[in-house]
Amino acid sequence: MPPPNTPRRSSSVDSAAQSHLDYLDLDLGEAVPNIPTSAYSLSPSAPRQQHLHLGVDRQPGGSLNRLPEPNLPHTVDFRGLNYADTVDENLLCPICRVPMVEPVDTACDHTFCKDCITEAFKYSNLCPIDRFSLTNTDLHKAHKIVTNQLDALLVLCPCCTSPVPRAMILNHLERYCKDALVRCPGQACRDTVKRKLYGRGCLHYDVSCPDCNMIMQQLEMADHRERDCQERLKDCSHCGDVILRCKEDGHLEKCQYVPASCEWAEYGCDYESRRKDLAEHADVCAFKFVGPMATILKKEINNLRSEVRTLTEKDHIKERRIKFLEGGFGGQRDTDRPLDYADLPSQSLSNLADSSHADPLDSGHEYLLSLVEAQETKVDRLSAGMTELEAKQTMMLFNETIQIKNELAEMRSSQQVLSMHVRWLLNFRRQENQRRFGAGPSSGGGTDGGGSSHDMPFPRRLSDTMNRDLVTKL
């Protein structure tokens, strides 16, 4: 049994992924030796097309069609991943002893991987821990807290070994991992390359190794020269160390036995020795005091040259503007005397002062355009100021009228209350009148055919008088 915090690994690639690799004629174990095939593979459903490269393809008819993205779908076996830190014992599945994948809770409050407990039900319907009787209906999705803890676990990317949250590993492989496989940018190439090599174009063409003259594809040349080439090693001609031929230039830049010149060679020191002996020469070099001072002076001279260049450009600008003004106002003044500021309108002088830092003007039209732009800028400022002033006045009017609106609302409310009281009093008086005079005089005729003309209404009661006095008081 593997250790509790060691993820279990399968011994071969899934059959579906392997069939996809056979279709691509690509062996992951050889083309990308750093990728553990048990945990990472291309998705079998990855779409393949005849013309694969990133960009725009122009069809014979002249229309532009967007070509597919270089990213490919990937599949990851979460049980075969390596974790950056030790995983909590409570997050390990009791059956497979790896961090749970799609955790589910049982009716007896135990948590397992969904696939693990489903596979266990094929042999027994008892809980693997407390032997409680279970069925598939007793399984429920684990609590969100457990799922969040599992998704936050840092796993090592199977391609670049970078620590990535487990929930983001697929997105990392499909979009950001530099060592993950993507479509080759070649127009008619059906192979894959690492994402970090995508910008170099199609590398699936045969070349000869400069060390052993072996024929292979350019895509495999870097790995071949570093790992598999029989002539990849050589002895440094200066220090005698064994180095890689493909990294000889980088070694020579740091090798302490390579001949080098003195630090102050540009100032006249002609001393040369091995790089490791230059430190001893620096203490006795005749230029050890002059060299730092010369470096400081050189830096100051460069700064002064830059300032002089800037001042010269400004001087040329001013001279060009003066010549333009002399030529533009020559018909309005005496040509025998120099240009005076009195000959220029005040508007031109103000604009000239404002545009002293502008770019050089090559013609009079450009100068006039600059004057127009300056006036437009002033107009824009005035418009902004008027807008701000209008906003302030609007706010003042709003503050003054809001109090009047509140008073009007109170008056309307009082009027409604008074109207309600009046209606109530009128209704009350009408009801009293109906109660008092609702029954009319009797008009029944006698047997003699004559009517009694002395019929009178009902007598008034004391309560009627009291009610009428009450209404009058109200």
Q: Say if CB 84 and CB 163 are below 8 A apart.
A: yes
Round to whole Å and give the CA distance between 245 and 227: 11
Confidence grade of residue 96 (pLDDT, cut at 50, 70, 90):
very high
CB 186 within 8 A of CB 204: yes
pLDDT at position 358: 46
Q: What is the mean pLDDT of the chain?
A: 75
C-alpha R_g of the chain: 49
Q: Could you tell me where the DSSP H helices lie in 42-113? A: none
With vertex at residue 75, the alpha carbon angle to CA 50 and CA 55, rounded to the nearest 5 degrees, is 35
CA distances from 251 to 243, 258, 394 (A): 8, 10, 76
Q: How far is CA 77 from CA 40, 148, 348, 433, in A?
A: 6, 19, 78, 95
Average pLDDT over residues 311-316: 89
Calculate mean pLDDT across residues 162-171.
92
Q: Is the separation of the CB atoms in 140 and 160 below 8 Å?
A: no
Name the least confident of 33-42, 62-71, 144-153, 449-458. 449-458
Residue whose structure tokens are 């050589």: 234
62 in helix, strand or coil? coil
Residue 42's pLDDT is 65
Q: What is residue 39's predicted lDDT score, i.e. its pLDDT?
A: 66
What are the backbone angles phi and psi of residue 7, rounded to the nearest 5°? Answer: -65, 145
Closest CA to 361 of 326, 327, 330, 318: 318
